[in-house]
Structure 1
Amino acid sequence: MRQDDGPAASRRAVLRAAVVLPLAAACSSPSGSGAPAVPAGPPTSAAPATTAPATTSPARPAGEVARATSGRPEVALTFHGAGDLGLARQVLGTLHDRGAAATVLAVGTWLQQYPDAARMVTDLGHELGNHTWSHRDIDGMADAAARVEIERCRDVIAASTGGPGAFFRPSQAQHATPAVRALAAAAGYPTVLSYDVDSRDFTDPGPAAIRRNVAAATAGSVVSMHLGHPGTLAALPGVLDDLAARGLAPVTATGLFG
């Protein structure tokens, strides 16, 4: 009998097979790393692509002007646009008849109340600007409410004239905060119009006091006045005489800063 025959040989053959078969399986794995092949699982869907949230850069704040530095002998008479329409027509007509041009910063509710007001201003040779919708304290308002004040007035001006108006002026404030200036810029007003001379005519101090206050204007000044006060109308001829005596021509704010 051969040495390999018999029960002992059979046991050795079984042991050899137990070692060789796993090695063969390992060598046949796709990775070739020697690790046993892992059955493929169910296909997985690709992870959805992520998109970074869109970011909107805040509008750059509008510039603010209160006085021109060109040196030209000109001043800008600017009027808060509100009050009785007949009185406003007399003020603007007086300016027109004297060859003077002005800028009216209109309140939106006034333009809504008097649909002909915007065209009256422009037909008499004056320019129109935005003085908010309802003349609230815009510098103290939340951004969303302030935006409505600016844009709603802009839209009513555009409906009457085809454009947003020349300037924005904050209501109840001489100067606009950076936040309000940014909202104005986003609404289409690259320039906020302030002033350096306050006539104080809204306090109804009488024509002589209004005239004295406006006499502080010099070349390049922007004067704040109001349409809706009888004292303003009464003071206006003297105001124009004083400016003429000093060689100062009343022009629109666009003309002054042009």
Structure 2
Amino acid sequence: MTNRTRRLLFIVIYGAALIVLLNYQPIHHYISTLKNVQIVNGDRNENEKARLRAQIEKWREGREEEPIDAVVDQTWKAIPGYNGRVVDVEESLNKMLAAGVSSPDLLVYKEVPPAVSLEQLGAQPIYRGNPNKPAISFMINVAWGNEYLDSMLNTLDKHKVKTTFFLDGSWVKRYPEEAKKIMARGHEIGNHAYSHPDMNTLGTQRIHQEISRTQDVIFKTLEVKPSLFAPPSGAFNQRVVQIAHSSYQMKTILWTADTVDWQKPSPASVINKISRKMENGVLVLMHPTSTSEASLDQLLTIAKKKGLQPTTVSEVISSRRLPSP
């Protein structure tokens, strides 16, 4: 028998043996067993999902919150609403399965907006944010006080805080580089009229002039269009609020707590006074003065210790919920 014949015979015998082996009952039984194991594992996975979904449903209790509508209060005028929250069961389930951990800390929430928003209240002054939102703003009105700006900006940077600077239009015209410095540090820019007038005494044309000239110079200098208007000295009437709202799509902003820093009180007295008024949704009025320069660092520290997040005015009056720490 030649070598070639032997090789052919070996191939035939090997192939026949393989066919017999594949049709042997234990092999079929093994394959069937694997399929059964896959089915069992699949059932276990579905059972685990069902168990975890039921646990998530239990965790929802006491953790979901109804939204709060914006309202017009007799004292505080327009009070913004506050988004509610509900647990997104499917997203929570997927997150826990991916992490291999089941914990209420991994719940995923969806925000639910209120039925009545701040915008639906129309032309109303705003003195504060919603009392359920743990946010506070140390807003700064600027028409003078350049010598204290750098220090206050550095303090805000130290605390990683962005706030709102309401800029006088004539100040921006005189000190464009100072205005750009504020903008470059990432702060929100608001309109503080052009010449620091008593807006309550102005006619319609002059009200328009004070607001529009400031809008123009801010846009020309900083390329932003403010959506917030802070009347100088807090002097305003409904006509001012209406014009700002209807003609310039701006909200009129007042304050909840006043440092009265222009009277040069001691920093200690300001810290004592303002710290007692710190609560959810408070807007604190400041200026670039020596008093506010000296008290800002401690005020920010106290606010954080109280569980408040110092931020911009727009964020405080928004119905959005703050991200969890």
Q: Does TM, normalized by the shorter one, top 0.5?
A: yes
**Using the alignment, how far apart are the partners of 1:158 and 1:165 within structure 2?**
8
Tell me how far 1:114 sits from its aligned partner: 0.5
Higher RCO (CA 8 Å, separation ≥ 6 residues): 1
Would you say 1:221 and 2:290 are equivalent positions? no
Q: TM-score, normalised by structure 1?
A: 0.72
Question: What is the DSSP-based 3-state SS (H/G/I as helix, E as strand, rest coil) of the residue aligned with 2:125?
Answer: strand
Tell me how far 1:189 sits from its aligned partner: 3.3
Unaligned runs of 5+ in 1: 1-59
Unaligned runs of 5+ in 2: 1-120, 319-325
Q: Aligned-pair RMSD on alpha carbons?
A: 1.8
For 1:193, which of 248, 253, 265 is the aligned residue?
A: 253
Tell me how far 1:247 sits from its aligned partner: 1.3
| Superposed CA offset, 1:146-184 (max 9, x none) | 21111111111111222321300111226x311101221
> Any residues of structure 2 matched to 1:1-258 within 5 Å, and which?
62-69=123-130, 71-173=132-234, 176-215=236-275, 216-227=277-288, 229-258=289-318
User: Number of residue pairs matched?
Assistant: 197
Tell me how far 1:244 sits from its aligned partner: 1.6
Runs of 4+ aligned structure 1 residues displaced above 4 Å come to: none
**Using the alignment, how far apart are the partners of 2:227 and 2:269 within structure 1?**
30
Tell me how far 1:76 sits from its aligned partner: 1.1
**Using the alignment, how far apart are the partners of 1:192 and 1:90 within structure 2?**
28
Aligned AA (2:175):
Y
**Using the alignment, how far apart are the partners of 2:271 and 2:163 within structure 1?**
17
Q: Report the structure, 1 or 2, having the larger helix content.
A: 2
| Superposed CA offset, 1:188-212 (max 9, x none) | 2331111111111111101011112
Q: TM-score, normalised by structure 2?
A: 0.57
Question: What is the DSSP-based 3-state SS (H/G/I as helix, E as strand, rest coil) of the residue aligned with 2:239?
Answer: helix
| Superposed CA offset, 1:51-74 (max 9, x none) | xxxxxxxxx963321111162211
Give the number of the structure whose alpha-carbon radius of gyration is greater. Answer: 1
**Using the alignment, how far apart are the partners of 1:186 and 1:158 within structure 2?**
19
